[in-house]
Each structure stands twice: as structure tokens, then as C-alpha cells.
Amino acid sequence: MGRRFIYILAILLLASPAVADDHTEPAPLTGIVDTLEVISDRPQRLEVLPTFATVHEIADELGRVLTVTDVIERGAGVHVRRYGGLGAYSTASIRASSPGQVQIYMDGVPMNSISYGATNLADLPLDSLERIEVYRGGAPVGFGSPGIGGVVNLVTRSPGTGRATAALSAGSCETIRIDLLRSGSFRPCTGGSAAARGAAADREAALDYTVVFHHLQSEGDFEYLDRHGTPENADDDEVVARENNDFQQSDFLVRFDTGPWDGWKTEASNEVFWKRSGVPGIENVHIKSVHYRIFRNTARISVEPPPVAGGALSCRISGFHVTRRDRFYNPDNEVGFDRSDSDDRSWNYGANLLSGFDWHAAHQSLSLFAEVRRERFIPESSNPAIGVGFTRKRTAYSLSAEDKLFLLGGRLKLVAGYRYQESADNYAGPLPIGGPPEPLTEAHRADFHGPCFGAQMRLCPRVTLKANRTRFARFPSMIELFGASGFIKGNTELLPEEGTTTDVGIVLRSSPSSSGGAFLEAVLFWAERDDLIVFLQNSQRTVKAFNLESASVEGIELTARYSWRAGLNLSASYTFQDASNEGPSPTYNGKRLPYEPRHDLFVRTEWRGRAGSVWHEYHHQGEAYRDQANLEENLSPPSHIHNAGGSISLVPGTLSLAIEVQNLTDERIVDVEGYPLPGRTLHMTLLVEAR
């Protein structure tokens, strides 16, 4: 209780200076944007719970060589883990969650790996996006399977803006990036009187489109310190170049929006992603030939009929289909990896309905969301003793209801919701010793149901209080349930991981408007997570997943921004969190969770003028343990990373040149033990725009 009192006192002390009376309207600040009040109706018409979310606008990132990983780690409460440099495997952790507990969506389509649960952020498109929404606590009702660690929603670029851009980047490690974007509209041509043309326009469907092509490649041969597996002995350390770290990836997105046609609106999109990447191994193991290939196709369509009941009742029907193929190659049978090539295929498809009813007489807004999703996964090994595995299948159902009540002229908002989830798969175990997984006749089922509550009170135009409490679940991944041939045993007794998050916070603005001026958000949060799944040694050669661990996380999140009339913008986020293991093991109970720093600070300063811009970023992460036992020799030092750059307009509004330097001080760090990150890197971008 004493620690929480200190947290609340810190919030009040930090918040008080931000209530200054400022009637100016500075230029809007790019980068971190304040908590969402209402999200646009794309891909679904959602109104956020009284919770806390960060929105990252991508419009001004075209002149930089960035990934989704680089963008979301700027926000409060988010920590990422990189297994290398540009293009390498990376995952997100929100409020000390595991990567699999964070649900990733693209326009509302679930993108998490069916087999492993976690999502590789390096495989998600950035230049195809308009913004990234990060929900740290509760999530809107329109997400079918929100994670107990939060939700990240990637929103693709809006069609119909009449814009064309082309960007070419080059930089360190032979990095090359190509980006092409074209958006516009096809409008019907009608003759006759103005009244006739207006009536025809109401009935004819206009077609808005966006086409985006993105290509990124790099040799990834940056230099790092190889300690040859003896970190205590510096005599054998040497600086070497990273081997087998090259990659190439391309992404192509086409999106069409039509409407209205007699009030009907339709959205359709298709994204194709391809990647080829080497696997470099850990710091002191030099892999030469191991590599993998990924192909992914994501299709989505949604239809919104005209509202009825005087516009009070609306709905949206959506369908999606995600196909993925992962191929792994080890042509030289190198040690440390599976010596058999693999070819895994997965399908994730489903449909959902989101409906809303605005009951104006009762000052209420009711929402209902229902979704059914099918998952299929087929592993294949080049080892003839294993061959093609049986088709793992799972059907997931989700049903959510939410009621918002508006009181005191809309100043007070109360929200109550309930969510039910169920899954059924075709595996019931157990496995024969050492044999591949097999389907049995009896289906394995799991379910979860939990409430969510929220409240928001606008004390005055510049001060808002918020509170939120939600309970979510994560169903086991297929590899946790089904196991894998030879070394991972399945476990049908696994329960869904469950978690409860509580937020209490204050939002202060120097201006009543949601953009411009000074902004400060301070959040106090608590998170409890139970039945966490861990892999334990099951026999001499096998491991098995069990529900054994629990975790407790509490902390403070601060987000601030300020803009001056002179074109100077400042944004910052800070997170303090105390994340500890609460499981039954006396060895780990009470110890800090690995790879989770207590302190995380990000500060961005930018000056914008007519001829260009100059910016600087500072990112600090505190020390963190790399093991569950919290051994001192596994305590990583704090990091201090500086990035800087700028742009100059060569032809105003048409041609510009941008330069950026990442890790300006050439600090050598690692996020995960054995996987070095690059030092100083330089990139230059030539950007052409036309409207």
C-alpha cells in the first residue's frame, strides 16, 4: 500500500505543472499522440473503453528506414526484444507480458503465429500503414481475441487521398529500401442537372484505392565483439563481422473502399509478403548456410449496410483469410539447428459481426461483437521418418457485449462489458514416446469468460480522469498443445493463461482541443497473470508445456508532449514497472521477470521549418536480468541510445532528401543474450511526392 501511495503522489506532483492556461494553437506533434477518445470507423467503427492507448502516426516516417519494432517501442509501457539488427526476429512486450500474450492485428485481422503464438514484428509492413494503435490495458469490443498483454492494431493507409510517393533509401551494411505508393479515386460521370447528378452520386459507388509496394534488403554484416563463449576472459575477444545475416523482403498491398451506394459501404484489401533471411546463430557460433523463407497472403473484406432505426442501429460484417508458408533450410547440416528441412503451412480464416445501437433516450450506446475463426496448421519435415504431419485444426468462437452510459451531459462515461471465448481442436493426446503427434477422436475444448469495467470523468475541458479493469485470456498455441515431432510433447490439460489489468490515470491538456498545446498522461497500473505456460524437461530428450507460473506487475506510465510556435516539438514517454514472478517455485518466486527493465525512457525533439527539419531521439533502458534466477552475472547494463537526423526540401512539396544516424554514439548492446545489435548506422533517403 505504501508503494502505491508513492505512485499516486508522484502522479499528482508530475501532473500539476501541466495545467497552465495556454490559448495558443501550436503545430501538431508527430510521433506519440495522446490517448484515443474515438477511433475512426476503419477497419471497424469502435469507441475505445475508458482505457489508455497510444497512437503512432506513420505519415512523417517515409524518410526513415524503420520497422514496426522501432515505432512501437517509443510508447509508454512497451518493451521490445531484438534478436539482431534490421530485419531480425523481434517481439513486443506490453507491461512485462510475454510476446505471445500481445495480440497483433492488421485492420482487425489477427496476425499472431498459429503455431508459436508470438508475432515477429520484423515481418509486418510499416510503409503500408497510416498509424499503429497500441492498447496497453483494456481493448475495444471489436477485437475478437485481445491478449492479456495488450493489443497492437496496424491500420493501413486510407484510400482516395490523391497522392503518389516514391522513396529510395541506401545505407550501412548495403541496405536498400524502395517504397512506392499511389492512392486516388474513381468517381462516376453523370450528366443532366445538378439535382440529377447529386441523386446519381448517392446511388453510384465511388471507388477509392491505395496501392503500396515496399522492398527492403540488407547484408547485415555489421561488426560486433565476439567473446568466443568466455565472457569472463577478455584475452580471446575479437571484433568480427556478422555472418549469414542478410535478408530480402517485399510487401505489396492493394486496398479498395467503395461507397456509398444506397448507403452501403464496402472495404477490401489484399496484402502479399515475401521474405528470405539467413539465420546467423548466436554471438560465438558462426552459421554459414542456414536460412528460411516466408510467404504470407492476407485478404480482408467488410460490408457496412446503411443504418436503420433512424440511424441508431448500425452493423458491419467482415471476413478475412490469412495464408502463410514457412520453409526452413539447413543444407550443410550445421550444428545447433534441426538437420531436417521443414515446410510448414498454416491458414487462419473467419468472419465477424460488429453491431451498435445508440439509445439516445437512455443516454446509452450498446455494442455486440461475434466472431468465428478456423485455424489449420500442417507441418512437414524432410526426415522420411516424420514426413507430413496431420492437419492440426482449431475453431475459436468469441462473443462480446458492451454497454456505455453517458451522464452529466457526457462528462461522465461508464462502461461495462463481458466477453466469452471458446476453442475446440482435434488433438487429445497422449503421444507415443518419441513419436510424432497424432489426432484422436475426442476433441479438446477450452473456454474463458470475463468482464470489463471502465469509467471516464471530464472534470473540466483540460482535465480528465480515467479508470479501467479488464480480464482477458490467451489460449495455448498449437506447439504448446500438440507438441512437435520428437522433442516437444503435447499437453491436453493446458488451461488458457488468464490476466487482470487495472488502470487509474489522469489526462491534462493546456488546450481543450485533442491536438496541439501541452499534453500529459499519467497512469498507475496493476496486472496479475495466472496459469502462465512454461516448458519443462519431461524426459532426457523431451520437454512439455505446463500451467505453472504466475506474475505480478505494477508501475507508472507517463506520456507528455509540447509544441512551440517556432516549430519546435517535444514528446516523451517514461515507464517504471516492478515485474516479479509469483509462481510456486521457491527458486524463482519474488524474482524479477527476465528481460524486463524497470526504467524505460524515450525522448524525441524535433524542429520543423519551411526548408526542412532536424530531430534527435534518446532511448534509455535500465538494467535487466537475463535469467529467472536473477544471477548477478546475468544482469545486463543500462543502455543509452541516441538517434539523429534531418531532412531538406530540394524542390518544395515535391523532392526532399533525408539523412539519419542510428546509435549515434556507437554503443554496443544486446537485447537477448547471444544476439548482438549493430552499432552506428547511416541511411539516406530521396523522397519524391506528387498530389
DSSP characters over 241-301: E--S--EEEEEEEEEEEEEEETTEEEEEEEEEEEEEEE---STT---SS-EEEEEEEEEEE
Domain boundaries, the chain: 2-690
Range in 259-263, 518-522, 680-684 with the lowest mean pLDDT: 259-263
Range in 192-206, 339-353, 618-632, 666-680 with the lowest mean pLDDT: 192-206
Residue 207: is it exposed, middle or buried by C-beta count within 10 angstroms (0-12/13-18/19+)? middle
More confident site: 40 or 192: 192
Range in 210-214, 354-358, 509-513 with the lowest mean pLDDT: 509-513
Which triple of cell numbers denotes residue 163?
Answer: 497522392
More confident site: 56 or 22: 56
Q: Tell whether the model's pLDDT for residue 303 goes beyond 90.
A: yes
Grouping H, G, I as helix, E, B as strand and the rest as coil, residue 37 is coil
Closest of 582, 600, 599, 601 to residue 591, by C-alpha: 582
pLDDT value, residue 41? 35
Q: Tell whether the model's pLDDT for residue 384 goes beyond 90.
A: no
pLDDT value, residue 51? 65
DSSP assignment string, 197-251: HHHHHHHS--EEEEEEEEEEEE----EEEE-TT-TT-GGG-EEEE--S--EEEEE
pLDDT value, residue 113? 84
Q: Tell whether the model's pLDDT for residue 421 goes beyond 80.
A: yes
pLDDT value, residue 549? 86
Cβ atoms 457, 411 nearer than 8 A: yes
pLDDT band for position 241 (cuts 50, 70, 90): very high
Cβ atoms 50, 468 nearer than 8 A: yes
pLDDT value, residue 539? 63
Question: Percentage of the chain surpassing pLDDT 90?
Answer: 51
Give, in order, the Cα–Cα distances in Å from 147 to each of 300, 577, 591. Answer: 21, 19, 24
CB atoms within 10 A of CB 632: 6
Alpha-carbon span 170 to 615, nearest angstrom: 19
Give, in order, the Cα–Cα distances in Å from 397 to each of 291, 300, 371. Answer: 36, 19, 6
Cβ atoms 437, 485 nearer than 8 A: yes
Strands (E), 475-518: 483-484, 488-489, 497-509
Range in 188-192, 429-433, 523-527, 574-578 with the lowest mean pLDDT: 429-433
The chain-wide mean pLDDT, for the chain, equals: 84
pLDDT value, residue 367? 92
Task: Name the strand (E) or helix (H) holding 425.
Answer: strand 412-425
At 438-447, the pLDDT tens digits run: 555 666 788 8
CATH of domain 2-690: 2.40.170.20
Cβ atoms 359, 366 nearer than 8 A: yes
- Tell me the chain's radius of gyration from C-alpha atoms: 25
pLDDT band for position 343 (cuts 50, 70, 90): very high
pLDDT value, residue 439? 57
Q: Tell whether the model's pLDDT for residue 124 goes beyond 50.
A: yes
Q: Tell whether the model's pLDDT for residue 30 goes beyond 50.
A: no
Cβ atoms 268, 253 nearer than 8 A: no
Cβ atoms 595, 81 nearer than 8 A: yes
Alpha-carbon span 467 to 534, nearest angstrom: 32
Grouping H, G, I as helix, E, B as strand and the rest as coil, residue 194 is helix
Which triple of cell numbers denotes residue 204?
Answer: 453510384
Mean pLDDT within 2-17: 37
pLDDT value, residue 59? 74
More confident site: 129 or 189: 129
Amino acid type, 652: P
Closest of 644, 647, 640, 635 to residue 596, by C-alpha: 635
Which triple of cell numbers denotes residue 31?
Answer: 510521433
Cβ atoms 551, 93 nearer than 8 A: no
Mean pLDDT within 547-563: 92
pLDDT band for position 79 (cuts 50, 70, 90): very high
What do you get for the CA distance between the two ends of the chain, in Å? 57
Which of the listed ranges 114-128, 217-231, 316-330 does the model predict with the highest average pLDDT?
Answer: 316-330
Range in 44-58, 492-506, 516-530, 625-639 with the lowest mean pLDDT: 44-58
Alpha-carbon span 233 to 208, nearest angstrom: 62
pLDDT band for position 686 (cuts 50, 70, 90): very high
Q: Tell whether the model's pLDDT for residue 522 goes beyond 90.
A: yes
- Using the 8-state DSSP alphabet, how is residue 396 labeled? E
Closest of 637, 630, 633, 572 to residue 606, by C-alpha: 572
Mean pLDDT within 356-380: 91
Alpha-carbon span 6 to 3, nearest angstrom: 5
Range in 48-52, 72-76, 337-341 with the lowest mean pLDDT: 48-52
Closest of 183, 185, 186, 187 to residue 163, by C-alpha: 183
Mean pLDDT within 242-261: 92
Stated pTM of the model: 0.87
Q: Tell whether the model's pLDDT for residue 202 goes beyond 50.
A: no
Q: Which residues contact 138 (CB under 8 A, 6 or more apart)?
A: 49, 51, 146, 452, 454, 468, 469, 470, 501, 503
pLDDT band for position 2 (cuts 50, 70, 90): very low
Grouping H, G, I as helix, E, B as strand and the rest as coil, residue 7 is helix
Which of the listed ranges 57-71, 211-225, 380-394, 585-599 does the model predict with the highest average pLDDT?
Answer: 211-225
Amino acid type, 324: R
Specify the pairing of strand 488-489 against strand 543-563: parallel
Amino acid type, 305: P
pLDDT band for position 486 (cuts 50, 70, 90): low
Alpha-carbon span 69 to 63, nearest angstrom: 17
Which of the listed ranges 392-396, 445-449, 572-576 does the model predict with the highest average pLDDT?
Answer: 572-576
pLDDT value, residue 361? 85
Mean pLDDT within 544-548: 82
pLDDT band for position 35 (cuts 50, 70, 90): very low
More confident site: 685 or 481: 685
